[in-house]
Structure 1
Amino acid sequence: MDPGEHNDEAAVTRWTLSTVHPDMWADPDDDPRETDVETFDERGTLLDGLRHHRLTMEMKCAGLDAEQMARRSVPPSTMSLLGLVRHLAEGERHFRRTAGEDLPRIYRTPEDRDGDWNGAIADPAVVEDAWCQWRAEAELTDRFIAGFADLGTRPGGDVQLRDILVAQIAEYARHCGHADLLRERIDGRVGQ
């Protein structure tokens, strides 16, 4: 799979049928996050890191219904896997906002700054919308990055593209850790 390529839930579900370790996501030799492609430069390394974390988020949510996706962690937190997907869609859009594009928020409003979390309700249409928004925003982010040959470019004026990309990877890494705990609470599946 190419960096930036996103798959449907059925494909992700196929990846999560481990036979070696049933509580894990994929057999070590079949883990879609691991590729034979070697990265030799900064761009390739950063894009591969982003691809890896995006796939991890998809895998952590694979096979869950709307109720499970919307299940909150522990009171008073509003965190859920569905909320994470919505939040990361906002994050993908924020990437381009930081880089200078004038874009409205997807879920958050001045009245509800936590709309990405608060609107994560157990409704199949809400789940479908979240995945569609996330995939569309990730694709737009990938196209945006591809438009710059030099990661030292400052598209928004203040911050280099590489710094925005590193921050995006850190955001995914942090939330993949949350997803580990949320998924384990739902059905016992553990991180890999």
Structure 2
Amino acid sequence: MSSPRRRADLFLDPADDPREGGPSLGDERATLTEFLRYQRLTLELKCSGLDAVALARRSVEPSTMSLLGLVRHMADVERGWFRRVMAGQDAPPYYRTDTDPDGDFDGAVPDPAVVADAWEVWRAECAFADRFVAGAPSLDVTGDDRGELTSLREVLVHMIEEYARHNGHADLLRERIDGRIGQ
């Protein structure tokens, strides 16, 4: 006789899910930006309600991956693609350096100031990206990625993929912290 399947707590009532309610019959821009919005909100949900110690908790040795590290990493990814590549700005990463290429994860320490900084930087980079996308004349505009042209369309698809992949990591990290599973 099999035992009943244990189901961990969900993050929130599905009726209160902030990821729902976006355009479902939009054009290409609306569809891509809605999928990106959904993935960003998913990362926020995975981190919700946790203190600095829990956010900085590493997955398993030797990995330095943590939820806080993922927030810092995605802030740098947003910055790189939208400011550096698409807008052509001189925008070095906040957390990664030549001497510490894993600084986004290595510097994810259990300090409330580090957590606050990570969220502030991430939100600012998301806001810049949203403004850039909204103001672009089309998804065909291109940016220079180290000598290779890439379209805004490709960047948006890449960002959705990047968040989706890391949100899978976030699912496992959060389940390890308190047993909650993703929606």
Under a length normalisation based on structure 1, what TM-score does the superposition of the two structures give? 0.86
| d(CA) in 1 for partners of 2:34, 2:74 | 17
1:185 counterpart = 2:180? no
Consecutive unaligned residues of structure 1, counting only runs of 5 or more, are: 1-20
Name the residue aligned to 2:149: 158
| d(CA) in 2 for partners of 1:56, 1:187 | 17
Q: Residue 177 of structure 1: SS of its match in structure 2?
A: helix
1:173 counterpart = 2:127? no
| d(CA) in 2 for partners of 1:34, 1:132 | 24
Name the residue aligned to 2:4: none
1:98 counterpart = 2:89? no
CA shift, 1:102, in A, is: 2.1
Q: Which has the higher strand share?
A: 2
1:88 counterpart = 2:79? no
Name the residue aligned to 1:140: 128
CA shift, 1:22, in A, is: 6.9
Q: Please say which of residues 100-109 and 32-41 is displaced more in the overlay.
A: 32-41
| d(CA) in 1 for partners of 2:150, 2:23 | 29
CA shift, 1:146, in A, is: 1.4
Would you say how many aligned residue pairs link Structure 1 and Structure 2? 172
CA contact (8 A) 1:23 1:188 kept: yes
Residues 102-151 of structure 1: per-residue CA shift (max 9 Å, x gap): 21110111110110000000000000000000001110111111121210
Larger Rg: 2
CA contact (8 A) 1:98 1:164 kept: no
| d(CA) in 1 for partners of 2:14, 2:155 | 31
Q: Please say which of residues 181-190 and 95-104 is displaced more in the overlay.
A: 95-104
CA contact (8 A) 2:57 2:66 kept: yes
1:110 counterpart = 2:101? no
Q: Please say which of residues 29-38 and 124-133 is displaced more in the overlay.
A: 29-38
| d(CA) in 2 for partners of 1:120, 1:76 | 15
CA shift, 1:36, in A, is: 5.6
Alignment root-mean-square deviation, CA: 1.4
| d(CA) in 2 for partners of 1:39, 1:95 | 27
Consecutive unaligned residues of structure 2, counting only runs of 5 or more, are: 1-6
Higher RCO structure (Cα 8 Å, ≥6 apart): 2
Q: Please say which of residues 166-175 and 23-32 is displaced more in the overlay.
A: 23-32
Under a length normalisation based on structure 2, what TM-score does the superposition of the two structures give? 0.90
Alignment equivalent of 1:23, drawn from 9, 24, 33: 9
CA contact (8 A) 2:46 2:174 kept: yes
CA contact (8 A) 2:69 2:105 kept: yes
1:46 counterpart = 2:32? yes
| d(CA) in 1 for partners of 2:140, 2:25 | 19
